Chains A and B, each alone.
Chain A
Amino acid sequence: MPFNSAIFLFIFAPFVIGANALLPSRMRNVFLVLASIAFYAWGEPHFVLVVIASSLIDYGLAAWIGRSTSDRTRRIALTVGVVLNIGLLLYCKYLGFFVENLQALFGALGLPRPDILLPLGISFIVFEKITYIVDVYRRVSAPARSVTDYLLFVFLFPKLLAGPILKFHEMRAQIERHVVTWDDVEQGAFRFAMGLAKKVLIADSVAEIADQVFNIPAAKIGFGHSWLGALCFAVQIYFDFSAYSDMAIGLARTLGFRLRENFNQPYLAIGFTDFWKRWHISLSTWIRDYLYIPLGGSRVSTPRMYLNLWICFLSSGLWHGANWTFVLWGAFHGLFVSADHMGLNRHVWPRLPRAVGIAVTALLVMLGWVIFRATSLGQALTLFSAMLSPARETKSVITVELDSILALAVGVILSVTPLDWARSIADRFAARLWPSLSQIGLLALTVWSFGRVFVSTFKPFIYFRF
């Protein structure tokens, strides 16, 4: 049930938000667990049972870790919990990829490619489940007060399918003392509306251009189209993903939960290290806390530190999808983060004018998105080749509508305008009016977004006096 579907927007969300607010506090968590399980079961009617069973195992293991005084026992329980969760992810997401590459490497082994449909949100769910067991093991957090609390942490529907990736210790107090205020509903509703507008009015409009470019056959793509496609995809992926995070954060807020921010104007980053502090923050902090630091982080020898960085970025790439393009994308980022550590952060970025640093970083990130979006390494190379050949003419026609161009322009402007600066300007010149004006503007955008959502539900035929 996507957030931008009519059934979610007009039936599921109003019902759940309303009921959650009206129910007595003690019943809210149970209600939300049931609603969230129903939400997940809508898309994964079979796999939901696996997630429930796996969560109950986590709950039991964490309780065991919490109770045990023996380090060995605690470590065994931790290992079992982590292995089970990683095993679930490997089986669902990577087994097919693994078998396929094994076949390619050693010739026909006669192994059938397993026909496993990737369950929705599996990468996010597994990572969150791991944080719980590890946090309890590290004594960062006590085990959950009840199964309901833990199931709510795992299944809370706003963040279930695409994050932000939560940590149990960040949510524990909010779950145990579940309060909803009118301020929460107001702030959450407008945050959700903003996310919806970003998704359906900007990301989806720009995606039309990006999709056309990335579908042009290799021999026909030219210089202009390749740059246009790269720019559009850079805007699309940021507005799509950050919109989802806005909607998740907004929805959770209407239910009484404050989730961590997941984006902080990533295209204003200077250097890749800075970029990863601004892009998908919940993933980068997860990788830092649960992979980089356990590997030794930067408290090890320099070569080992770089190895750790590369392990993290290759894993991050692979986490995004079981394809070599994602691994290469991870390596691309690993390369530039390593370069930052080697000296760019100290000797290059600080000496460049701020705008130049931002522009160079954004350009490199955009090149990285070409690898990310390409369907194969070959396509990525073709696109790079076209981007480097100004004389290469486009031999294909793409349709670009005015609203897509406007969406692209708005997307670029919003991406590179420092929002703190914009807010301070708004506060200076329209301090009293700004909150109301922004809400009215969002209301208008919401009507437009709802209309856009309904478009997919109405496809009339041409009938004439039949």
Chain B
Amino acid sequence: MKQLLKRPVLALLILLTLLPGAAMLAQKSGVKIFAGFTKTSLGGVVDPAPPPKWTLTSFLDGNLQKQLSLWVPEQMGRPRETMLRLNNGLGYVMGRSFNPDVIIGRNRMLYPKDYVREWCSKPRPNKRQAEVVNQIVKLRDDVTASGKRFLLVLSPGKPSIYSEYLKTPCDGDSNNRRISQIKTALAASNVEMVDGTVALRNAKRSQNLPLFGRDGLHWNALGASFTVNAIVDNLERQLGKPMPRLKVENMTVDSRSPVADQDLGALLNLPFRLWPYPSPHPVFDAGKEGYRPRILMVGTSFCWQLLDLMGVNRISDDLRFYYYFSKIAQAKEGNVEISDVSFAAGKDLPAAFERAEVVVLEINEANVLADYTSQLQADIARLLKKGG
């Protein structure tokens, strides 16, 4: 021990090497006093590695080794998290993301990789794409045949609005992307649509505030508000009644972005807070006048902002939202409630569909072939058939 004390840097190096293993042992011991040492708070969802199966067969075929290689690091608690964050922080300073799903663009603009890939790709029409178009047309036909209005909302990916910050530029608009192909096909069938990309690009030209958080995947409240007003425009026309619309009553801009606008940043798992950038905090007033339709909305995570804006500002007094046609959220008379139960939407559909005047289907341009469109169409078709 004396020898080790004479070598303080070596002692630190040994400690550093032993800490992850010690955290693992502490975690296995289950002693609560070690919780601060073993618990981690890394952002993002992972599939935990299953515990290894200690059999001779699994060792001989190499599976045990693979399982251990995945499982052991996950047990290394806070030391692993700390070192991981330090590395990620150094990477971020140099413009490198260590999350393969997140790209750091110019001015530290974060992009989800899938969205960039979609923006830059030149896809050929495929069978599934034709199916989605047919399903949306059928859905529209079924909904309108029931005396309700139908509206398709296309939400934009970040690269569609802020492609200029991509380090490796590409021109998605000239790529005839899948969303463009689908849009053309749906327009030919006269499907009512609101294109969020158009709404946000117009807004970007007319004002300087960001419409997506620099560190977020989704549009921010300001960005979503332009789409809400485009939805209102469309529904006013379809319903033949004036509706309340969002007007900015007050706007503050500071460097405190809402948590929802930092979701991509959280996935970088940095050791420090993300560097500040201007974040708009609009306060809207939709007034008290106008018709507030009952809406059933189905879509992706881009709908959370729509739900908040339309619900809290009472664009609709009864807005039921099925997240990926799975989880249910409800905005009623200015209050928003979100259920924790997944896969409940299908059972809830008959009553909600019956009550709704308008069905809004939102699809995101990077996720146009998602299954929830098919599920919704099939369930509504079944419901109407049953009902006679």
Binding site for B on A (CB under 8 A): 1, 5-7, 9-11, 13-14, 42-43, 45-46, 182, 185-186, 189-190, 193, 397, 399, 401-403, 406, 436, 439-440, 443, 446-448, 450-452, 454-455, 457-466
Contact = CB atoms under 8 A, between A and B. Distances in A.
A406 to B, nearest CB: 7
Contact of B263 (A46, A401, A446, A462): A462
B73 A7 contact: yes
B45 A10 contact: no
A45 B45 CA distance: 34
B98 A455 contact: yes
Interface stretch (B7-15, B185-193, B247-255): B7-15
Nearest to B95: A402
A46 B84 CA distance: 35
Nearest to A399: B168
B88 A466 contact: no
Contact of B301 (A46, A186, A452, A464): A464
Interface stretch (B16-24, B153-161, B229-237): B16-24
Interface residues of B, number: 63
Nearest to B3: A182
A143 B98 CA distance: 51
Interface of B: 3-4, 7, 9-10, 12-14, 16-18, 20-21, 24, 42-46, 59-62, 65, 68-70, 72-74, 76, 80, 83-88, 90-91, 94-96, 98-101, 112, 167-168, 217-218, 263-264, 267, 269, 301, 304, 323-324, 327, 338, 342
B4 A182 contact: yes
A448 B94 CA distance: 14
A457 B96 contact: no
A295 to B, nearest CB: 40
A338 B59 CA distance: 49
A264 to B, nearest CB: 26
Contact of B87 (A45, A193, A455): A455
B386 to A, nearest CB: 30
Given A45-B62, A447-B16, A448-B90, A460 B72 contact: no
B13 A46 contact: no
A462 B80 contact: no
A160 B95 CA distance: 37
B84 A455 contact: yes
Contact of A406 (B3, B16, B69, B94): B94
B87 A10 contact: no
Contacts of B86: 447-448, 451
A3 B230 CA distance: 57
A350 B95 CA distance: 46
B83 A451 contact: yes
B96 A458 contact: no
A463 B45 contact: yes
Given A458-B46, A462-B217, A9 B17 contact: yes
A206 B178 CA distance: 35
Nearest to A452: B87
Given A11-B72, A43-B65, A461-B45, A466 B323 contact: yes
